[in-house]
Amino acid sequence: MFWLEIDVVVADEHRDVVSNVFFELGSGVQEEPASIHSGATLIRGWFPVDDQQPEQKVLVIRRWVENITGQPVRMEVRRASDRDWTIAWREGLKPFRVGERLVIKPTWEDFQPGAEDLVIEIDPGLAFGCGTHPTTAMCLKLLERYVRPGMVVLDVGTGSGILAIAAALLGAATVWAVDEDPLAVRTAGENVARHNLTGRVRVRSGNLLDELSEPADLVVANIVAEVLTELCPAAATALEPGGFFIVSGILDKREDIVRRALAANDFRIESRLAEGEWVALAGVKE
Ligand X SMILES: C[S@@+](CC[C@H](N)C(=O)[O-])C[C@H]1O[C@@H](n2cnc3c(N)ncnc32)[C@H](O)[C@@H]1O
| Options 19, 67, 158, 191; binder of ligand X; rule CB under 6 A | 158
Q: Which is nearer to ligand X, 136 or 265 (CB)?
A: 136
Q: Which stretch binds ligand X (CB under 6 A): 5-13, 84-92, 141-149, 174-182?
A: 174-182
Q: How far apart are CA 249 and CA 223, in angstroms?
A: 5
Residue 225, φ and ψ in degrees, nearest 5: -55, -45
| Cβ-based nearer residue to ligand X, 42 or 43 | 43
The footprint of ligand X on residues 180-209 (CB under 6 A) is 180-181, 184, 207
Helix ranges, 25-133 (H): 54-69, 86-91
* Segment lying near ligand X (by CB under 6 A), choices 12-20, 40-48, 70-78, 172-180: 172-180
Verify binding: residue 129, ligand X, rule CB under 6 A. yes
Exposed/middle/buried for residue 247 (C-beta within 10 Å: 0-12, 13-18, 19+): buried
Site string for ligand X, 41-70 (x = CB under 6 A): -------------------x----------
Q: How far is CA 112 from the centre of its chain?
A: 27
CA-CA-CA-CA torsion sign (22, 23, 25, 26): positive
222 is in an annotated binding site: yes
106 lies in the site for ligand X, by CB under 6 A? no
User: Comparing C-alpha atoms, which of 195, 173, 177 is closest to residue 186?
Assistant: 177
Which of residues 34 and 248 has its CB atom nearest to ligand X in the complex? 248
As a whole number of angstroms, the distance between CA 172 and CA 217 comes to 9
**Residue closer to ligand X, measured from CB, 10 or 208:** 208
Pick the closest to residue 251 from 227, 229, 280 (CA basis). 280
CA gap 47, 44 in Å, rounded: 10
As measured in angstroms, the least distance from the Cβ of 254 to ligand X is: 14
In angstroms, what is the minimal distance from the CB of 76 to ligand X? Answer: 22
205-244 binders of ligand X (CB under 6 A): 207, 222-223, 227
**Quick one: DSSP state of residue 14?**
G
228 and 278 in contact (C-beta within 8 Å)? no
- Please report, as ranges, the residues that interact with ligand X according to CB under 6 A: 60, 127-129, 136, 139, 156-159, 162-163, 178-181, 184, 207, 222-223, 227, 249
